[in-house]
Amino acid sequence: MKYYFQTKDLVKIAIISALGGVSSTYIGYLGNLVNRFLGVPFGAGQFLAGLHIFWIVLAFGLVKKEGTCTMVGVLKGVVELFTGGKLGIFVILLSGIQGVLADLLFLVLRKRNVYTLAVAGGIATAANVFIFQLFFAPYNAIHFFTLVALISFVSGVAFAGVFAYNVLNVVEGREQEYSMRKALTLVVCAAFMVGGVYYYTFVYKTSGKIEVTGDVEQAYSFMYEDFSLYETTVEAEMVGQYKYEPETQYTGIPVSLIVEKARPQGTTVRIIAEDGYTVDFSLDRIGELIITRERRLIAKGYEGSYWVQDIVRIEIL
């Protein structure tokens, strides 16, 4: 009996799904760096969103069979879920839908060239913004939602489409031995690989610990479980300049309790994220701030840019 997917196809799908899932946190880190560099707390990270879909398009280019994108999308989501993805089980649905969309587009477009890969990559990547808006309505301004969706589409065209096409040409030996495009493709791949090694070696925090340092009598580090007995729940609405989260109940540990244990001498509490993003609070105004199990700051009463994610350090100044 001849199966639709041969063993070599399944091996390719498994390897690419694993690489795509594991690299998701690294891609998210790069997106946060873009946000910080441009001074925009939300949305700018979509410039790199196409790198998530790159793996789906790459797998299709290598296997060349409908259904590949869906399989990679679902499996990539599963790997991301179990390697620290912040979206929980929702990531499987999100990644799976993007895979299905890519499969449908390849089925309709038929031809396999840089243009079809670019269109499929762009639409599958932009779907991320629409799906989030459907389930969570994070953007309360239509013009900003449109801008973010457009940025996501362009990223998909560039990284999931054109870049994937160039990588396929190099992998399958269709590119000339000495060509500028091949050289640029290899340089970009090498840059991402070096950056990935640096990220997982020096930045990625598998322990989940947060440090408390600065002008304190007792600097220390802690994990969420160390304060789990003091969990509290607050109702808060996150209102940003471009992003909105409706009033929701959040459970976490009080920042005031964390700071108090360090016996602070300064008057300013600085919250520092994994990507270097910082926000400052007056020591006497942290009464309703909490940190969730996912290391997210819930800053009730503060504008959305203060709701820091992926906290790694609290510094007293």
The predicted structure's pLDDT at residue 59: 97
**The pair of three-digit structure tokens given for residue 243, joined into one six-digit string:** 């992003």
Burial state string for 281-297 with b = 16 or more CB within 10 A and e = fewer than 16: beeeebebbbbbeebbb
Q: Name the percent of the chain lying above pLDDT 70.
A: 94
Q: Residue 251 — pLDDT band, cuts 50, 70, 90?
A: very high
Burial state string for 127-143 with b = 16 or more CB within 10 A and e = fewer than 16: bbbebbeeeeebbeeee
CA gap 249, 149 in Å, rounded? 28
CA gap 8, 63 in Å, rounded? 9
pTM over 0.85: no
44-96: per-residue pLDDT in tens?
Answer: 678 899 999 999 999 999 999 999 999 999 999 999 988 877 777 899 999 99
**The pair of three-digit structure tokens given for residue 111, joined into one six-digit string:** 């031809």
Give a three-class secondary structure readout of 227-243: HHHHCEEEEEEEECCCC
**Cα dist from 96 to 38, 56, 67, 167, whole Å:** 31, 10, 11, 23
Half-sphere exposure of 83 (CA within 13 A, CB side): 19
The predicted structure's pLDDT at residue 41: 55
**Cα dist from 252 to 108, 114, 234, 249, 299, whole Å:** 48, 47, 8, 10, 11
Question: Best-predicted range by mean pLDDT among 30-39, 57-66, 295-304?
Answer: 57-66
Q: Residue 22 — pLDDT band, cuts 50, 70, 90?
A: very high
Sheet holding 268-273, edge to edge: 220-222, 210-214, 311-316, 268-273, 278-282
**The pair of three-digit structure tokens given for residue 200, joined into one six-digit string:** 């997982």
Range 5-14 average pLDDT: 94
The predicted structure's pLDDT at residue 132: 86
User: In the beta sheet, which residues pair with residue 226?
Assistant: none
- Angle of helix 7-22 relative to helix 50-63, nearest 10 degrees? 170
The alpha carbons of the chain give a radius of gyration, in whole angstroms, of 22
Residue 245 has pLDDT above 70, yes or no: yes
**The pair of three-digit structure tokens given for residue 278, joined into one six-digit string:** 């910082």
With vertex at residue 196, the alpha carbon angle to CA 191 and CA 199, rounded to the nearest 5 degrees, is: 125
For the domain 210-316, what is the CATH code?
3.90.420.10
181-221: per-residue pLDDT in tens?
Answer: 889 999 999 999 999 988 888 777 656 789 999 999 999 99
CB distance 243 to 141 below 8 Å: no
Residue 36 has pLDDT above 80, yes or no: no
Residue 317 has pLDDT above 70, yes or no: yes
Q: Residue 139 — pLDDT band, cuts 50, 70, 90?
A: confident
- Considering only residues 120 and 309, tell me which one the structure prediction assigns the higher pLDDT: 120
Domain ranges of the chain: 7-203, 210-316
